[in-house]
Amino acid sequence: MTRNTLQRFASVALAAAIAVILPPSSAFAHTGISPAHDLLHGLEHPLTGLDHILAMFAVGLWAAQRGGRAIWSIPLTFVLVMTLGGALGMSGVSLPFVEQGIVLSVVILGVLVVGAVRLPLPVSAGIVSLFALVHGYAHGAEIPSAASGLSYALGFAAATALLHAAGISFGLSMQQRRSAQLVRYAGAAIAAGGLLLSIQ
């Protein structure tokens, strides 16, 4: 499978997943979006909240803009720290300003893409880690005590990685077509979406 074919596949897979899974009226907050019981619910959950979709896609776009090691290290950092945040949420640890942090993540990640901001890799990883913590915490806090936390966590980590891959795929394909400006427009749309979420 060539790189171009892989990128096209990731883009089509994301579009299909969103078309099938998103309900007509998307909920913007995490709490109570859908059941949280097992692997399948974990896979579905990140795709039913516009906040998560926008932020995860933006992480992929920003990683693609940065290029080099950032293409894999920024998304991987996000998934690992998000898993830690999920464990904190499951354990009942209190974390303040989670919803505000989630909305802020959408806006700031969108702005980073708009500006094609190039920060040192450790700083970039630190930024996505902060956002990953609140996204993961929100997912983990919703898991009922009777649910299989591990399988649910694996599901939402996999779905998050898929959204990252879609953002990376789109970003790289636009660069190859010399349409990098479209990536910035996507960042602007993401930031605007975050501002709309903030007034919901």
When pLDDT is averaged across residues 142-160 and rounded to a whole number, the result is: 75
| pLDDT at residue 26, rounded to an integer | 35
pLDDT band at 63 (very low <50, low <70, confident <90, very high): very high
Query: Could you give the C-alpha distances from 25 to 22, 85, 104, 143, in angstroms and in order?
Result: 8, 27, 22, 22
Per-residue confidence (pLDDT) for residue 29, from 0 to 100: 40
Q: 24 versus 45: which is more confidently predicted?
A: 45
Burial of 122 (0-12, 13-18, 19+ CB in 10 A): exposed
Looking at the DSSP bridge assignments, the partners of residue 30 are none
Residue 52 scores a pLDDT above 60: yes
Q: Cα separation of 44 and 59, whole Å?
A: 19
Over residues 4-17, the mean pLDDT reads 44
78-127 per-position pLDDT tens digit = 999 999 998 898 888 899 999 999 999 999 999 999 999 999 999 999 99
Ordered by start, the domain boundaries in the chain are 47-198
- In this structure, what is the dihedral angle of CA atoms 111, 115, 120, 125, given to the nearest 10 degrees? 30
Mean pLDDT to the nearest integer, 48-59: 92
Answer yes or no: is pLDDT of 37 > 80. Answer: no
For residues 3 and 192, the model is more confident at 192
5: confidence class by pLDDT, cuts 50, 70, 90: very low
Model confidence at 7: pLDDT above 90: no
Q: What is the pLDDT of residue 31?
A: 41
Task: Please give the residue that has the higher pLDDT: either 197 or 172.
Answer: 172
* Tokens 């394909």 -> residue: 173
Question: Of 32, 39, 44, 30, nearest to 148 (Cα)?
Answer: 39
Q: What are phi and psi of 27, to 5 degrees?
A: -85, 145
CA atoms within 13 A on the CB side of 82: 31
Identify the CA nearest to 192 among candidates 62, 63, 54, 100: 54
Q: Give the model's pLDDT for residue 43.
A: 78
CA–CA separation, 101 vs 55, rounded Å?
11
pTM for the structure as a whole: 0.78
Burial 173-199 (b: 16+ CB within 10 A, else e): bbeeeeeeeebbebbeebbebbeebee
